Amino acid sequence: MSRMSQARLPHARAAGALLAVLVLTSACGPTPGKSGGAGKSASGSGSVTVNVKNFAFDPAKLTVTKGTKVTWKFEDSATHSVVAGDNSFKSKDLKIGGTYSFTFNTPGTYQYICGIHNYMTATVTVK
Ligand SMILES: [Cu+2]
C-alpha cells in the first residue's frame, strides 16, 4: 500500500512543476507586435484566408475592405460548407484540402454558417 503512494508522489511533483512552468510562461504575457492575429477576429484586404477546422471558422469575425477575395480553406476531416445567410455566396460541401473563394465587392455585414452544421456561424464585415 505504502509503495503505491510513494510511487505516485514523484509523478505528482513533476506535474506540479510543469504547471508552475506553464504559469510562469504565461505570466510573461503576450509580446506586443508578435500576436499575428491569432484571436477571434482579423482584418485585411486583397486576399484573406479563413480556416475551416475543428467545426469552426477561424477567424469567426473577419473585417475586410471591399474588393477583398476571401478564401476558405477546409482543413477538417469532416465535411463543411459556407452558406451566406442571404445566399449571396454559397460553397458546395467540402472537406480537407478543399477551398472556396468569394470576392466581397459590396460593403455590409455578411453572416454565414456551415450548411451541414448550422451552429458553425461566422461573419465577414466588408468596409
Ligand atoms: Cu460543418
Q: What is the pLDDT of residues 94-124, one digit of tens each?
A: 999 999 999 999 999 999 999 999 999 999 9
**58/117 same-domain check:** yes
> How confident is the prediction for the chain on average, in pLDDT?
79
**111/89 same-domain check:** yes
Q: Higher confidence at residue 74 or residue 8?
A: 74
All three cell numbers of 92, joined, read 458546395
All three cell numbers of 56, joined, read 469552426
All three cell numbers of 126, joined, read 466588408
Q: How far is the CA of 17 from the centre of ligand 1 (A)?
A: 39
Strand residue runs (E) in 31-115: 41-44, 47-53, 56-58, 61-64, 68-74, 83-84, 99-104, 108-113
- Whether the pLDDT of residue 91 is over 70: the answer is yes
Domain-embedded: residue 122: yes
Question: How many domains are there within the chain?
Answer: 2
- CATH number of the domain bearing residue 69: 2.60.40.420
Q: How far is the CA of 23 from the centre of ligand 1 (A)?
A: 34
Domain-embedded: residue 35: no
pLDDT at 57: 98
pLDDT at 87: 95
pLDDT at 106: 96
**89/63 same-domain check:** yes
Q: How far is the CA of 79 from the centre of ligand 1 (A)?
A: 6
**10/67 same-domain check:** no
**16/49 same-domain check:** no
Domain-embedded: residue 108: yes
Structural domain that includes position 52:
41-126
